[in-house]
Amino acid sequence: MQQTASPRTNRGPAAGPENRRALIAAAREIYADNGPNAPFSAVAKRAGVGQGSLYRHFPDRTALAVAVYEENLAELEEYARSGQITLDDLFDKAITQASSSMGIIALIDGDRHDPRVEALGARFLEVVERLLAREQAAGRLGDHVEPEDITISTGMMATEIARTDPDQRDAVAHRIRTILHNAFAPGAGRPRP
Amino acid sequence: MQQTASPRTNRGPAAGPENRRALIAAAREIYADNGPNAPFSAVAKRAGVGQGSLYRHFPDRTALAVAVYEENLAELEEYARSGQITLDDLFDKAITQASSSMGIIALIDGDRHDPRVEALGARFLEVVERLLAREQAAGRLGDHVEPEDITISTGMMATEIARTDPDQRDAVAHRIRTILHNAFAPGAGRPRP
Amino acid sequence: MQQTASPRTNRGPAAGPENRRALIAAAREIYADNGPNAPFSAVAKRAGVGQGSLYRHFPDRTALAVAVYEENLAELEEYARSGQITLDDLFDKAITQASSSMGIIALIDGDRHDPRVEALGARFLEVVERLLAREQAAGRLGDHVEPEDITISTGMMATEIARTDPDQRDAVAHRIRTILHNAFAPGAGRPRP
Amino acid sequence: MQQTASPRTNRGPAAGPENRRALIAAAREIYADNGPNAPFSAVAKRAGVGQGSLYRHFPDRTALAVAVYEENLAELEEYARSGQITLDDLFDKAITQASSSMGIIALIDGDRHDPRVEALGARFLEVVERLLAREQAAGRLGDHVEPEDITISTGMMATEIARTDPDQRDAVAHRIRTILHNAFAPGAGRPRP
DNA sequence: CATGAATGAGGGTTCATTCAT
DNA sequence: CATGAATGAACCCTCATTCAT
């Protein structure tokens, strides 16, 4: 009837932000190693944090996945802000992140209607829109390409990479990039003469 | 005083093949409705069959998923054998099947190294190779296209369709088809003049 | 990810009815000893039955409490059917059952709006109605008494007995009986001359 | 770089009594709204007070319940001291308090052997004894009535009211009052002529 | 003296798998 | 060969209690 609490160590509230970071890092590892069905509690264990703290910081799986993905996205936004990002840069980032976040991506996929996830999608779309406008103006991408072409393609590519064996990822990534480059190249949208 | 426990209906060995079919049909419904994490036992219930029979026919989840997918593939092979299958036909099939087998696809994804799954992949590759050779010969697909481009693209497309909301599937399917057509068109692989 | 089942013994389906009885008996003991907040799983343990079997037989706490209480009620109905039950007989039964079912009563209380519980209440009301009509006709209970007076009083008494220390139960029971007898006696409802 | 964790508001020792009052008020609300199984911590949250302060003021659930109930009792004592309290007045108070303190009553019930709870019972008995003596002297209650008849009846009534649906409380209260009035009326204890 | 994050054991429930009938 | 109840480990989540700040 009574729950006996026997905390081994209590580092106090100061541990809060540190724990949050540890949980996000642990989530990356756990979901990368064990796929999206890994027990939620495994994240807490890996982070060296109590179950309760995990739930305090992230009330549900989605909250955690969003936090992880948000870090990825923030890095991308930062990169986009700091210079002239190209489609290849975007693909590079997507491939890199897909390789290390496979479980998280799958997790997010399951919740695509969650408002928190939709918000991330909107932020990603913005990055893409700016990129596309610039590249089209420079004549490096065809005018037939729409932002959704890029977002969907990037998502497909990331998923495919994520589920590919590590030792074949480079080859598959190269193949998909080539396909997409051909599809998005200037002139690709019009019938050949 | 105890009423002897007795199987309600035991139709004997004759029921074997019938049960197998019922289980496969039930699996389609269950995984379509509930996603890949649906309880295995739900399939037996939906099929109107005991747990034991489910395990007899399909010792594990993968065995069942393979059986379902094999039906899809057999249909495609049959279709390919019976006439001049085009890339568009292939895409049509993939889209149709993705829409109705989303859970199964996800299930198979998790087991891509299972030999039973690999065997299906090999059969699919064969279909694609024949198709590609014919279409390239007819000048309807570029010579830069390789069979793996098709298999990977089809897989990506199917996954993407499967995870898209039903009411947006047509639009997304159209978009992806356009991208891939542009990518695979004759001339798309060479630099523009 | 996989749940490993390691059943020590599996006595087969024949154990079903036996398990059900064992669970009901265990529930009586557990809730009598530990009150209504006893862990549900303790019932399974006491019955020597797996958790799953407990849930199969009784999908929730209320189902179990209803089953227990239904046994009590069936005994009362049987008794009422077999002869001329008096108010004192009813009180006797209520007191006896309250003493041994305290936790169950509390449990049922929490679910009084559950249809299963309401059905039991209706059955109890029927017994009371017949009893009251007969006793009033015989002049042993006042005409001012209504069935609900009896049902509420019995409920109050049972609850009070259930929460009284065993060694004071007789005294308290006697006291409450006297109060209610005085209240329900012929003439008690009318002003004294 | 780390921002030092700092208590938002710490009003110092002066806040002590104020917090205590806030906790008691919060307990009333929480247990009225959520029943006796409401999380202890919810009280602190509702009171706008830290967990630690809750534990400082009330080391356990019972301490808090006793404090709440003590307020009710003090009000009753004050009322009794200030005039000629009748049985009906007592019932009125009991009904009113039962309606608003249902969770607390249930909580106290579980701890009736706690000395703190027993002390409250003794104080209540004193009020009843004085009331009974006065009413019997005035001929408004039968000589057969003993203090324990009143205390038990009041307790039963309160419990019954507390667990009755709000919209039926008036009817049930009226019914129980009538029963008890009939039982305690002068002459009710003697056999009819 | 107050705050509120951290802890982790415990209870609820599900479901993969076995096996008596 | 089919049935479906039985089993219990695993996962999810809550919450009583402590304690650094």
Lowest mean pLDDT among B97-111, C37-51, D45-59: B97-111
Say if the Cβ atoms of A179 and B109 lie within 8 Å: no
Q: Is B185 on the interface with A (CB under 8 A)?
A: yes
Which chain C residues in 1-20 sit with Cβ < 7 A of strand F?
1, 3-13, 15-16, 19-20
Average pLDDT over residues B53-68: 94
**pLDDT at residue C187, as a whole number:** 82
Q: Which chain A residue is nearest to residue C35, measuring alpha carbons? A: A1
Tell me the per-residue pLDDT of C43-93, one tens digit each, with 9 for 90 and over: 999 999 999 999 999 999 999 999 999 999 999 999 999 878 899 999 999
Tell me the per-residue pLDDT of B132-167, one tens digit each, with 9 for 90 and over: 999 999 999 999 999 999 999 999 999 999 989 999
| Least Cα separation, residue B189 to chain A (angstroms) | 6
C165 Ramachandran zone, left/alpha/beta (phi>0; psi -120 to 50): beta
Residues whose CB is less than 8 angstroms from the CB of residue C2 and which lie 6 or more positions away in sequence, other chains included: none
Task: Determine what percent of chain C is predicted with pLDDT higher than 70.
Answer: 90
| Least Cα separation, residue C40 to chain B (angstroms) | 24
What are A78's two structure tokens? 């930062």
**pLDDT at residue A191, as a whole number:** 56
Which chains neighbour C (Cβ–Cβ under 8 Å, 3 or more pairs)?
Answer: A, B, D
What are A165's two structure tokens? 């064996």
Residue D187 reports pLDDT greater than 90: no
Q: SS in 3 state form for A133-192?
A: HHHHHCCCCCCCCCHHHHHHHHHHHHHHHHCCCHHHHHHHHHHHHHHHHHHHCCCCCCCC
Residues of C in contact with A37 (CB under 8 A): 1
Strand F closer than 7 A to residue B45 Cβ: no
**pLDDT at residue A147, as a whole number:** 98
Residues of A in contact with D2 (CB under 8 A): 14, 17
CB atoms within 10 A of CB D189: 18
Alpha-carbon dihedral A97, A100, A106, A109, rounded to 10 degrees: -20
Average pLDDT over residues C23-49: 93
- What's the mean per-residue pLDDT of chain A? 89
Residue nearest to nucleotide F11 (CA to C1'): A39
Domains, chain B, in order of start with CATH, read: 13-59 (1.10.10), 61-193 (1.10.357.10)
Q: Is B5 on the interface with C (CB under 8 A)?
A: yes
Average pLDDT over residues B88-113: 88
pLDDT band at D172 (very low <50, low <70, confident <90, very high): very high
| Least Cα separation, residue C39 to chain A (angstroms) | 8
Q: Which chain B residue is nearest to residue A113, measuring alpha carbons? A: B165
8 A C-beta contact, residue A50 and residue A85: no
CB atoms within 10 A of CB D155: 21
Nucleotide nearest to A11 (CA to C1'): F20
| Least Cα separation, residue D45 to chain A (angstroms) | 15
Residue B111 reports pLDDT greater than 90: no
What are C142's two structure tokens? 């006042």
Distance B187 CA to E9 C1' (A): 67
For residue B145, give the amino acid letter.
V
Q: Which chain B residue is nearest to residue C15, measuring alpha carbons? A: B5
Which residues, numbered 10 to 69 in chain C, qualify as contacts with chain A under a Cβ-Cβ cut-off of 8 Å? 34-35, 37-38
Strand F closer than 7 A to residue A41 Cβ: yes
Mutate to test the interface with B, among A167, A182, A192 (most CBs of B within 10 A): A182
Say if the Cβ atoms of D2 and A17 lie within 8 Å: yes
Lowest mean pLDDT among A4-13, D82-91, D95-104: A4-13
- The candidate with the shortest Cα–Cα distance to C151, out of C191, C121, C179, is C121
**pLDDT at residue D20, as a whole number:** 93
CA R_g for chain C = 20
Which chain C residues in 46-75 sit with Cβ < 7 A of strand F?
48-53, 55-57
Residue nearest to nucleotide F5 (CA to C1'): C13
